[in-house]
Structure 1
Amino acid sequence: MQDRLAVVTGAANGLGEAIARRLKAEGARLALFDIDAAGLATVAEELDALAIQGDVTEESMVQQGFARIAAELGPADVLVNNVGGSRNQKIWEMSVEAWDFTLRLNLRSAFLCTRAVLPGMMERRCGAIICMSSGAKEGTPWSAEHSGAAAYSTAKAGIHGFIRDVALEVAPYNIRVNAVAPGPIATPRTSPLFAEMEKTLLHPPSRMVPMARIGEPVDIANAVLYLASDEASYVTGVTLDVAGGR
């Protein structure tokens, strides 16, 4: 990754921060997006990265952000679409607003950022795009039991379909498009929730994951690094499960 420009969305904390740190450790230059201005500023300063604060589900913001990246750093070699999340509710209680929010956050952000970065990659006939799917794409027992996650599972299954088609569209330009599907990963946001699930659920992650442990952000960062690197030069249209065997 030496001197390659990697753009990472949702980089202020959690998986995005871990991915940015891993790419930086391999010599990448970084441009980081996040809606969290304070967290983004801290990570960007530490990693000597260009920080772009804003909502990547908004078309104008994405266009302006990628124009700034091109002007200040040049064309992107790697894009990591890491923004995601959900407003979980049981399906019989779920509001239209919660459903739409979740699909917009996970799918619209990936679409807008991918569309923005592709012209430069197509012109240079090279590039790697990695999107964040999830083990939830097949349904997650602990999430379903705890609070319901149908919208999130739908969105993450959509990421798999998205990368499959886009990979075929851009293969003639030597651009690779893949996804990583994390299992349960311990981050500052998820760790308290997993601890609660272990105490209250019949099907907590520790019982449902064959390796019987919660993963770490670096596990996902290492997978993203592989897919971004030349070692994966013949890998495209793949969703790589990093989920402890589940």
Structure 2
Amino acid sequence: MRFEGKTALITGGGTGIGAAVAARIRSEGGNVALVGRRKEPLQAVAEKIGAETFAADAADGESMKETVAAIGERFGGIDILIANAGGHGVGPTVSMSDETWETSIRLNLNTAFVSARETLPQLIERKGNIVVLASIAGLFAGPDAAGYVTTKHACIGLAKSLARDHGRYGVRVNTVCPGWVTTAMADEQMKALMEMKGLSSVEEAYALVTKDVPLKRPASAEDVSNAVCFLASDEASMISGAILTVDGGTGTVDLPTLTFAS
């Protein structure tokens, strides 16, 4: 019951990693406020685990200001922000439109910044913490994904800045960087890979993208939620400004030596 008496605000909590984190926090006694633009997936998760939903655009200041105030009033304050909303920003740079680029910034970076800005007063009051969901795309560059790569790098910078500036008030801020995770969003990318490589199943596609990963598999949403909930808990009370990868060892691989692998 690590989260008993605490309240977590989770952006993008209707699917994938956000939903898994929400379920874990609720199972360990915490209150969960799911925030997002799409009501249906949020409501489905909320009904399953006993959370509450708040319709808001995490990248919109006024929307989040009202929502954060409502959550604070409902639960007595916010202790944890899981800045999980994100996605978008892939495609070749030479053909990427201004709209695609700006959407990537809004969905990946602005959601984290605005959510943090609006929750910080309550987090300072309650000596709470923030976990920012970035990606190993925030540490390395994948092909034809300048929007996503750039904004996920920026999310790590944001988390470091927040940790540096607000640690003096007792607020911890950490970043989790997953590799491939078996979510609905990743499944869509696997389907594109199936078509590109002539593969017969999503499972075969996941096997292909993780063939050089030391653990030889993608993460599950629950794998990532384990890391997120550790950092959000009092067990990590002396950890701030950290970057925790959940990538099966991907970041340990020396790419130029793959030619020598048997």
C-alpha separation in 2, matches of 1:182 and 1:50: 26
Q: Which residue of 1 aligns with 2:80?
A: 78
Q: Which residue of 2 aligns with 1:186?
A: 182
Q: Which residue of 2 aligns with 1:20?
A: 22
2:26–2:51 CA contact under 8 A, matched in 1: no
The count of residues paired between Structure 1 and Structure 2 equals 240
Change in 2 beyond 3 A, CA 1:107/1:192: closer
- 1:61 is paired with a residue whose SS is helix
- TM-superposed CA distance for 1:199, in Å, is 6.8
Q: Which residue of 2 aligns with 1:4?
A: 6
After superposition, the C-alpha distances for 1:39-83 in whole angstroms (9 at most, x for unaligned) are: 111111222222111211111110110011011111111110000
Q: Which residue of 1 aligns with 2:155?
A: 159
1:197–1:204 CA contact under 8 A, matched in 2: no
After TM superposition, the structure 1 = structure 2 runs for residues 137-152 of structure 1, keeping only pairs within 5 Å, are: 137-141=138-142, 144=143, 148-152=144-148
- TM-superposed CA distance for 1:204, in Å, is 4.3
Q: Which residue of 1 aligns with 2:211?
A: 207
Two-structure CA RMSD over aligned residues (Å): 1.8
Return the index of the structure with the highest Cα Rg.
2
The reply on whether 1:233 has 2:237 as its aligned counterpart is: yes
Q: Which residue of 2 aligns with 1:132?
A: 133
- 1:115 is paired with a residue whose SS is helix
C-alpha separation in 2, matches of 1:98 and 1:192: 18
Unaligned segments of structure 1, at least 5 residues: none
After TM superposition, the structure 1 = structure 2 runs for residues 20-59 of structure 1, keeping only pairs within 5 Å, are: 20-59=22-61
C-alpha separation in 1, matches of 2:122 and 2:57: 22
Q: Which residue of 1 aligns with 2:259?
A: none
After superposition, the C-alpha distances for 1:71-120 in whole angstroms (9 at most, x for unaligned) are: 11111111100000014111111111111110111111111111111112
Give the structure-2-normalised TM-score: 0.87
Q: Identity across aligned pairs (percent)?
A: 33
Unaligned segments of structure 2, at least 5 residues: 198-204, 251-262
Q: Which residue of 2 aligns with 1:243?
A: 247
1:198–1:204 CA contact under 8 A, matched in 2: no
C-alpha separation in 1, matches of 2:96 and 2:192: 22
- 1:207 is paired with a residue whose SS is coil
Give the structure-1-normalised TM-score: 0.92
